[in-house]
Structure 1
Amino acid sequence: MSANKEVITLGGGCFWCVEAVFQQIKGVESVVSGYTGGTVPGTPTYREICSGLTGHAEVVQVTFDADVISLEDILIIFFTSHDPTTLNRQGADRGTQYRSVVYYTNETQKEITEAVISKIQPYFDDKIVTEVSPLGVFFEAEDYHQDYYENNKTQGYCTAVISPKLAKLRHMHADKLK
């Protein structure tokens, strides 16, 4: 494990998609699906999150070696692997739990995130609406959500939604793949 390890928490729709993308990236040491950003007490469950009533977002916590890949590169991959211009929606997934969000752990991460958004905004026709907020409590999702794509590649959602995202990733960021 590198001494220059960083953690960033990202939400870009369904966490299965974001997890599958970042598991492919050089320098990423772990990707954990989970929930954060909610306001209700207790540990949320997937069923509660899906209701849209808890305020939580589906997110992944990405641990990476900053000597191998920069936070800026992580964020560029994030912003090009989902649509950061749609509020509370990614494709057919709708609700606040699917919002585009970056949860930072320090002011440097916040500043880098805001700088990346400014840098890439001209490449989008619509305004980037990604929320940038401090990380609160992160709740790890249930075991069956971890490594979801890897364990369910032939499942309908995986073939229809995740596989095309991974093809786009290979096309746009081949130099960053493991």
Structure 2
Amino acid sequence: MDSTKTEIAIFAGGCFWCTEAFFTDLKGVDKVVSGYIGGKTENPTYKEVCSGYSGHAEAIKITFDPDDVAYEDLLEIFFSTHDPTTLNRQGADVGTQYRSEIFYTTETQKASAENFIKLLTEQDIFGKKIVTKVSKASTFYPAEDNHQDYYAQNQNQPYCQAVIAPKLDKLKKNYKSKLKE
């Protein structure tokens, strides 16, 4: 991959163990890092973020080549792999750290995200109001090592089997052409 053509996308859509797994195998995606963004605490720990007091969201930072995968494709997968209509929760995970938020790194990404949400709203795709926020990216803090590549290293863990695996199977079925060989 030509490093001069990489861009960064940052998404918060619930537990980062789940969201990381969805983007790792996409063509054009070089790297996915789990971490924290959007709060006030500097260098937060997982425990601080889980407390809800840090203000941070669990998020993923995706390094990608826009010639191989469009930002709009990343948005499509982001919106198809979590519920953007639930405020501060994804399934059983509840709290502001599980909010749905797009952290844009360029004005073009901001416009794309806002237009994508507008389109989903106009087409009433979810049947409810989309609560996903679009915010300028602040400092992204990588999570601790044990949270990186979590699904790949813990596939047999009950949470991974119950929550991540079924969504990943659906993703692989619906986006087969966009996955790495």
- Considering the TM-score relative to the shorter chain, is it more than 0.5? yes
Q: Which position in structure 2 is the counterpart of 1:157?
A: 159
Query: What TM-score does the superposition give when structure 2 sets the normalisation length?
Result: 0.95
State the distance in 2 between where 1:150 and 1:106 align.
30
Q: Which position in structure 1 is the counterpart of 2:22?
A: 21
Aligned length: 177
Cα deviation, residue 171, structure 1: 2.3
Which runs of 5 or more residues in structure 1 are unaligned? none
Query: What TM-score does the superposition give when structure 1 sets the normalisation length?
Result: 0.97
Which runs of 5 or more residues in structure 2 are unaligned? none
Q: Which position in structure 1 is the counterpart of 2:79?
A: 79
Larger displacement relative to structure 2 (21-30 or 119-128) = 119-128
Amino acid at match of 1:153: Q
Instruction: Give SS of 1:10's match.
Output: strand
Amino acid at match of 2:50: C
CA deviation profile, 1:6-45 (whole Å, cap 9, x unmatched):
10110100001000000121111000000010023x3100
Cα deviation, residue 174, structure 1: 1.5
Q: Which position in structure 1 is the counterpart of 2:92?
A: 92
State the distance in 2 between where 1:99 and 1:172 align.
25
CA deviation profile, 1:71-111 (whole Å, cap 9, x unmatched):
00110010001111111010000000000010011211100
CA deviation profile, 1:128-178 (whole Å, cap 9, x unmatched):
110100011110000000000000000011000000110110122121111
Q: CA RMSD in A?
A: 0.9
Q: Which position in structure 1 is the counterpart of 2:51?
A: 51
User: 1:3-22 to 2 correspondence within 5 Å?
Assistant: 3-22=4-23
Amino acid at match of 1:37: G
Percent identity over paired residues = 56
